[in-house]
């Protein structure tokens, strides 16, 4: 698959096969993250890779899935993520104003690198920060910013071009369908017109 097909095929997946993701693949994903652009090249992101069963269960308990279809987007028992990459910020470097840009750019690199290896993912901002700090006994300067839930996909969400709603839904076959605003509505050429 070329890069455009990969980008088009990437959807947030919330049901995973009970199949471990090899550490080699997880390393490739982190490698893609660490090479992403970084404001002033401060590189404040650290990547906590979690595959351990007990730790995974603890993280899972703090996650909130698919707000628009809750609780229908929750991974059912047996379909939980098989790994997590938790993006931490080393707050001793850089500044709060750039952290989220760095995280967003690096996160997409991580997702696309995973997808190239058949690994699906879902980003989660809705997680228990306090709990994650406690689970991993994180030092004061390392703050969890974003959780990436990972695994081999057991569902195939799709997108449709639509701008009348931002809410994704499950269609009559149970497929998560994500509306994306069409290109001609998001792109302005030389001048902005509404
Ligand atoms: C910053 C950010 C935070 C997100 N947080 C969550 C979350 O807490 N739980 C969840 O299930 N999905 C979360 N998502 C996934 C979005 O719901 C998803 O990207 C969006 O519905 C578009 O679907 P797509 O990723 O398949 O294109 C998050 C995505 C982003 C970019």
Question: Ligand 1 center to residue 127 CA distance, Å?
Answer: 12
Any atom of ligand 1 within 6 Å of the Cβ of 157: yes
CB burial of residue 176 (10 Å; 0-12, 13-18, 19+): buried
Any atom of ligand 1 within 6 Å of the Cβ of 65: yes
What pLDDT score does 53 carry? 98
Same domain assignment for residues 129 and 141: yes
Q: pLDDT digits over 68-90, tens only?
A: 999 999 999 999 999 999 999 99
Q: Which atom of ligand 1 is nearest to the CA of 13?
A: 26
Tokens at 166, concatenated: 């931002």
Question: Ligand 1 center to residue 124 CA distance, Å?
Answer: 6
Same domain assignment for residues 26 and 116: yes
Rounded to whole angstroms, the Cα distance separating 47 from 181 reads 32
What pLDDT score does 1 carry? 83
Same domain assignment for residues 176 and 138: no
Same domain assignment for residues 175 and 149: no
Number of domains in the chain: 2
Any atom of ligand 1 within 6 Å of the Cβ of 125: yes
Q: pLDDT digits over 156-182, tens only?
A: 999 999 999 999 999 999 999 999 999
Tell me if the pTM is above 0.75. yes
Question: Ligand 1 center to residue 126 CA distance, Å?
Answer: 9
Same domain assignment for residues 82 and 119: yes
CATH number at residue 30: 3.40.109.10
DSSP letter at 169 equals E
Any atom of ligand 1 within 6 Å of the Cβ of 120: no
What pLDDT score does 193 carry? 79
Best substitution site from 59, 112, 123, 148 to test ligand 1's pocket, by max atoms within 8 Å of Cβ? 123
Rounded to whole angstroms, the Cα distance separating 185 from 166 reads 14
CATH number at residue 176: 2.20.180.10
Q: pLDDT digits over 87-140, tens only?
A: 999 999 999 999 999 999 999 999 999 999 999 999 999 999 999 999 999 999
Same domain assignment for residues 27 and 63: yes
Question: Ligand 1 center to residue 193 CA distance, Å?
Answer: 29
How much is the average pLDDT of 32-45? 98
What pLDDT score does 100 carry? 98
Same domain assignment for residues 142 and 161: no
Any atom of ligand 1 within 6 Å of the Cβ of 16: no
What pLDDT score does 194 carry? 72
Same domain assignment for residues 114 and 171: no
Any atom of ligand 1 within 6 Å of the Cβ of 66: yes
Same domain assignment for residues 141 and 165: no
How much is the average pLDDT of 57-75? 97
Mean pLDDT for all residues in the chain: 97
Any atom of ligand 1 within 6 Å of the Cβ of 75: no
E strands present in 8-100: 45-50, 83-90
Q: Determine the 3-state secondary structure of 139 from DSSP.
A: coil
Same domain assignment for residues 98 and 186: no
Closest residue to atom 13 of ligand 1, CA basis: 124
Same domain assignment for residues 161 and 151: no
Looking at the predicted structure, is the pLDDT value of residue 4 above 90? yes
Instruction: List the helix and strand counts (H, then E) for the chain.
Output: 6, 7
Domain of residue 171, residue span: 157-194
Same domain assignment for residues 7 and 39: yes
Looking at the predicted structure, is the pLDDT value of residue 191 above 80? yes
């Amino acid at each position: 698959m070329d890069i455009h097909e990969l980008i088009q095929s990437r959807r947030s997946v919330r049901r995973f096969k009970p199949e471990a993701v090899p550490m080699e693949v997880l390393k490739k994903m982190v490698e893609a993250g660490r090479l992403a652009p970084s404001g002033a090249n401060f590189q404040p992101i650290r990547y906590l890779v979690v595959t351990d069963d007990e730790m995974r269960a603890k993280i899972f308990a703090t996650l909130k899935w698919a707000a628009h279809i809750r609780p229908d987007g929750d991974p059912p028992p047996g379909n939980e993520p098989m790994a997590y990459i938790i993006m931490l910020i080393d707050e001793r470097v850089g500044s709060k104003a750039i952290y989220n840009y760095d995280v967003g750019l690096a996160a997409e690199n991580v997702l696309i690198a995973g997808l190239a290896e058949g690994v699906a993912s879902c980003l989660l901002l809705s997680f228990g920060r306090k709990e994650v700090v406690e689970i991993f006994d994180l030092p004061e300067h390392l703050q969890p910013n974003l959780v990436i839930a990972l695994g081999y996909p057991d569902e195939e969400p799709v997108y449709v071009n639509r701008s009348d709603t931002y809410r994704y839904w499950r269609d009559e076959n149970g497929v998560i369908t994500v509306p994306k605003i069409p290109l001609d509505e998001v792109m302005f050429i030389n001048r902005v017109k509404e």
